[in-house]
A and B are shown apart, each in its own frame.
Chain A
């Protein structure tokens, strides 16, 4: 099974994946094949993280995503992965992708 791995520790929220995807799928205003979520910014007042800031982005796939099957068949990267400015997206077989998770930074594995 193919998947997209996001090392979202480093996602900058730049919207390139969203727009690249919209252009590929020809989606209308308000429609997305991949969509950013945003958490924060907020400062922890409790727990081990007290005093530290939290602010991260995580793109998630919608039903419209077809993992750019056409492109991948031709040897190209999916549009979102190719254009990710933050170098935090990877595409491949899920069993290969999980090996990239390093235990130090936050990852999310997305599949259809």
Chain B
């Protein structure tokens, strides 16, 4: 077993230049900093960057940085392959010829900025600034820069991770816990303490439930999954809830391979066991919870036997897992994307949050810690919203029927509402897309062909990215080359610590996201952009953020860089904050909710028009809801599982990643492989009842259960032809050929991405490719603008 204290003692601190920021090693200059993106992920690990003659040559983890303790993933170790890649965009480009032809001319930054400025000012004048939509991708280090740019330069409320509907990525869990707990929560793997696992207040979780994600591959939500591997070494027991057999499932006391999209059923059955067997934390429920009786009533008939039939798992395993969770001294639940990539998103969020609450596992050591971003450096969406004319802001593209949007808890625009405006021109037409670090066609776009048809009609599109992407080829008029992480001065939080990134190299004319928004902001709306340099802009983000009294941080960018690039915040490291008056604005004890308690019956949910207690909705396509379709499409298609090699649609250019993972893989259980006559390395078509299909290569494995196939997401092929109809093969292997716009769960939240129905059959030479279907027919199935596809079965 690894011993963290022993590890700390064993490091030769002189060899790793403790206390230094920059030094020389042979022919290299070494810089101690942190890395985020691009290319990257959701995390910000400590790195040592080795440069020679201004060029990044190698990357090592920094063993003296507590975030990752010097451990690095394969993508970061191969970062020089990305930074020095011959396909990188070197100069600003203007399209010549038609969209989709992939022909460009080099222009100067001034020419690019002049043209953009002129177009933006015209659009604002003629159509109103709300007709500009600002799009960004997840994970990329643009989470505060781009929203501020949308507000303070473009003056539009329409900023979005456009393409996936139902806010089906993390947001449902964020707003769900904010409503019920008053704050967001995450697994306490000691990450709030700089001395980590050696911290005296921290305790290892007795049980960790890994629910609907594979954290060692996804590292989502600023959480490094490998932190839990160390907890497991220290003795943490595992419960795995996943249709897939993961690393965790093999090592779990209970693996519950539920049918995709039935998580809420399982969670309610666990609540049934915990309440009927009186396994609750009485003190916590009596002192700190509201609505326990209502919850008990809601789950009274949700027995493990009822759930077993719906979920396809053993009722005694449900009981056993629930008892293990409830009887543990402390239990943390690592929940994932599967929560919102189902139609019952808010229902399952409520149910699992309730499991945390009634077992007393909120803000306890080794439980589910309540977290805020370090020093309240946390504004992202909504940053600078007050700079938008209120009348313009009122025209934000949101569904008219959702109380969630009326409550203003969600600052970003709604993807379906944007697509609706693009398809129908109502309530107004979209005149411009500013896309900064998003490959909307290859990754989030649901459904991809339909999003493509809508995007190519937009009069003016600018894409900012390090590489030419299918999205840029399909619709961009101007493409701006983005700098990579090591070429940026930048800052971030996302929980703790606050981190800075120091620029160590340059690549041709590529500019950082900070520099680009600052340059254009100064041209278009100078009064909102008073900063001279990117470093000044970062200092403002660290300390001010337009908050009434600023943040709780008072050091500037340079100081943070010089102290090694990280600083931890005591608040996050404090347990049971609700007992200490740390959560509510008035300083009283309790949680920051209307009742001051954890709301098992939630006023927030109720005000949104969403069921205030846990609920389940069957997926729109499933053996239960569409049994006739199921006869012809007898496999459940789940998708979007992560691999070590890629972050979403990134890293496909890197030789090392493709060496390990050359092709998109679909997992097929050995029983199904036999039934459908496919074997390892067979390319198969995956097709739904609307005739939409994509192809991936078969991996026959018991990692998926019989009757469920699991496909990868985010694939495009930078090595292929970029021009239409191929577009770097973006439609070829794209699961989003089959997903649907305009079909979401309660409150417009949640989307059934991980629970569709399909059939599989081998690919034959000469088969028509999805890109050819898109080029000739537009999409796989006719649709009315602004309307969902008809239900496949009433």
Contacts and interface: CB of A to CB of B under 8 A. Distances in A.
Interface of A: 7, 10, 12-16, 18-20, 22-23, 29-30, 40-43, 53-55, 74-77, 79, 82-88, 102, 105
B233 A10 contact: yes
A45 to B, nearest CB: 12
Contact of A15 (B68, B249, B644): B644
A14 B7 CA distance: 20
A29 B655 contact: yes
A7 B233 CA distance: 10
Contacts of B233: 7, 10, 87-88
A53 B14 CA distance: 44
Contacts of B245: 41, 53, 55
Nearest to A104: B1
B61 A22 contact: no
Given A19-B74, A54-B250, A82-B63, 18 more contacts: A14-B226, A14-B644, A16-B72, A16-B73, A16-B74, A19-B78, A20-B77, A22-B656, A23-B78, A30-B659, A53-B255, A75-B12, A77-B70, A82-B60, A82-B71, A84-B71, A86-B229, A88-B233
Nearest to A41: B702
A111 B14 CA distance: 27
B703 A16 contact: no
A79 B70 CA distance: 10
A68 to B, nearest CB: 12
Interface string B247-265: 1011000010000000000
Nearest to B670: A42
A43 to B, nearest CB: 7
Contacts of B14: 75
A12 B229 contact: yes
B125 to A, nearest CB: 52
Closest 6 CB pairs of A and B: A75-B15, A75-B12, A87-B2, A19-B74, A85-B226, A85-B71
A97 to B, nearest CB: 13
B174 interface: no
Contact of A83 (B58, B77, B659, B702): B77
Contacts of B249: 53
B95 interface: no
A15 B702 contact: no
Nearest to B245: A41
Contact of B229 (A15, A41, A85): A85
Q: Which of B74, B229, B245, B249 has the most CB of A within 10 A?
A: B74
Contact of B71 (A16, A30, A43, A74): A16
A16 to B, nearest CB: 5
B296 interface: no
A9 B230 CA distance: 12
A87 B232 CA distance: 11
Contacts of B508: none
Contact of B216 (A14, A29, A43, A105): A14
Nearest to B701: A41
Contacts of A79: 60
Interface residues of B, number: 39
B763 to A, nearest CB: 26
B226 A23 contact: no
Contacts of A20: 72, 77
Contacts of A77: 63, 70
B765 to A, nearest CB: 27
Contacts of A29: 655, 659
Interface in B660-708: 660, 701-703
Interface string B620-657: 00000000000000000000000011000000000110
A53 B16 contact: no
Nearest to A40: B250
A75 B18 CA distance: 13
Contact of B1 (A12, A22, A55, A105): A105
A10 B232 contact: yes
Contacts of A43: 702
B73 A7 contact: no
Nearest to A22: B656
Contact of A7 (B1, B250, B644): B1
Contacts of B78: 19, 23
Contacts of A19: 74, 77-78, 656
A100 B388 CA distance: 62
A107 to B, nearest CB: 11
Given A23-B78, A85-B226, A12 B232 contact: no
Nearest to B255: A53
B253 to A, nearest CB: 11
A92 B1 CA distance: 16
B264 to A, nearest CB: 26
Contact of B702 (A7, A10, A42, A105): A42
Interface string B1-38: 11000010000101110000000000000000000000
B659 A14 contact: no
Given A41-B703, A77-B63, A16 B250 contact: no
Interface string B46-88: 0000000000001011010000101111100110000000000
10 contacts: A41-B703, A42-B702, A53-B249, A53-B255, A82-B61, A83-B71, A83-B72, A85-B71, A86-B226, A87-B233
